[in-house]
Amino acid sequence: MVKTDIDNVLAAAAVLDIAEVQLFRKAYRKWFGSRIGEDLLDRYFVAYMFAGVVPHWVRDYARQVLDNAARHRLDPVQFGVLPVLRRRARFGLGMLLLQFVAIALLVLITHWTVRQFPALQGCLLPPCY
C-alpha cells in the first residue's frame, strides 16, 4: 500500500504526539528558520484540511520524522518537540495542588470561625496558661 502525503502527516503527528497544526508550525520553522505567521498558517492548513494539499516543507519534515522512527532513532527534541509530563506525573502534581488548596481553605475557615464566635477565642483544651 502506498502512503499518501496526508497519511505521512498523520503518522508523523502521531509519532511526535502533537496535533497536525503543530506539525505544520514545526515543519515551517525547520525549513525556513523562522516562525510562521498565523494568517499564512491558516492558508496552508485550510488547504491541507479541505483539499489534501501538503506543502513541500511539511512533506519533507514528516518523511524525516517517519524515517527516524523507522530506524528507532527518533529524538523528538531534534524535531522541536519538548518532552511533556506524562499523565501519572500530572496527576501527582494535581493532587499536591489540591492538598495545598484544601489546607489553605481549612486555615481560612478556621480563622473566620474564630473571629465570628468570640467564645472560641479563649483556651478550650488543657493545658491553658
Give the residues of the chain that fall short of pLDDT 50: 1-2
The per-residue pLDDT for 2 is 46
The per-residue pLDDT for 92 is 80
| Rounded Cα–Cα distance for residues 25 and 80 (Å) | 10
Name the DSSP letter for residue 119: G
69-94 burial: b if 16+ Cβ within 10 Å, else e: beeeebebeebbbeeeeeeeeeeeee
Count of CB atoms situated within 10 Å of the CB of 61: 25
Predicted structure pTM score:
0.62
| Rounded Cα–Cα distance for residues 73 and 57 (Å) | 21
Count of CB atoms situated within 10 Å of the CB of 29: 16
The per-residue pLDDT for 90 is 73
The per-residue pLDDT for 1 is 47
